[in-house]
Amino acid sequence: MKEKQKLILLKNVFKHYQMGENIIRAVDGVDMEVKQGDFIAIMGPSGSGKSTCMNLVGSLDVPTKGEICLSGEDISELSESELAELRGKKIGFIFQQFNLIPNLTVKENVMLPMTFQGMDKNEREEIAEELLGKVGLEDRMDFYPNQLSGGQQQRVAIARALSNDPDVILADEPTGNLDTKTGDKVMTFLDKLNKEGKTIIMVTHDPDLAKQHAKIVYWLKDGKVEKVTKKSNVTSK
């Protein structure tokens, strides 16, 4: 069987912040490997370092120490513009707060990441319409975010995350602002994307969500990986 491609690799990664005279060890020596087709959950209580870890995994931040490779490239050696371009092509982001632009229509929100990649307008429109059809919002393309329910806004966010056909979808508490029924629908859609070959990394504080959907769970505590749980077996760290 062909070895799965390594998409993201963290090697002994630290992220420390200076707060007055104190040093906050938000991430404190984390190793993580994300391969093509994985569904990974990063779990932990508030203050465990999972949000900082998400920013590092998504190349939104660079480490204080250690190595982060995105598709084989060490991100610490890239300029901010090079990193933004690589991130824009390789990773699609779904945020808990949706982060839609309020004065853009649904279709314009989905088109936005493609604009940053310099894609032709007709192609952007065609892809946006296709993706909104996929998430069942073809009849809401010309609506604005404040005219949609929370679940509909999250589906727009998913369509936007898919717009540049990224290798990895990074979902930060994707059901955090949704009721249970709507949250289940969103997770079913993420499962479907994973079955179609997309790599999913989900940050959550909900152990049931992690256990039900993820193939691999990284459990964080005090900025360290406490254990790694895989489907059917547990590997203690």
Convert the pLDDT of each residue in 12-59 to its tens digit.
Answer: 999 999 888 999 999 999 999 999 999 999 999 888 999 899 999 998
Mean pLDDT throughout 49-72? 90
Contacts of 234 (CB under 8 A, 6+ apart): 227, 228
Are residues 175 and 183 in contact, defined by beta-carbon separation less than 8 angstroms?
Answer: yes
> Predicted confidence band at 232 (pLDDT cuts at 50, 70, 90)?
low
Helix (H/G/I), strand (E/B), else coil: 31: strand
What pLDDT, on a 0 to 100 scale, did the predictor assign at position 46? 86
CB atoms < 10 A from the CB of 228, how many? 18
| pLDDT greater than 90 at residue 143 | yes
| pLDDT greater than 90 at residue 222 | yes
| pLDDT greater than 70 at residue 236 | no
Backbone angles phi, psi at 134, to 5 degrees: -60, -40
Which residue type does 15 have?
A: K
Query: In 3D, which of 187, 125, 127, 124 has the Cα closest to residue 151?
Result: 187
Instruction: Taking the CA atoms of 190, 54, 41 and 78 in sequence, report the sign of the dihedral they define.
Output: positive
Query: In 3D, which of 101, 191, 112, 106 has the Cα closest to residue 152?
Result: 106
Q: Rounded to an integer, what distance in angstroms lies between the CA atom of residue 46 and that of residue 80?
A: 29
Query: In 3D, which of 67, 73, 55 has the Cα closest to residue 13?
Result: 67
In tens, the pLDDT along 104-119 reads 999 999 999 998 888 8
Q: pTM to 2 decimals?
A: 0.89
User: Any idea which architecture 39-55+84-236 has in CATH?
Assistant: 3-Layer(aba) Sandwich (3.40)
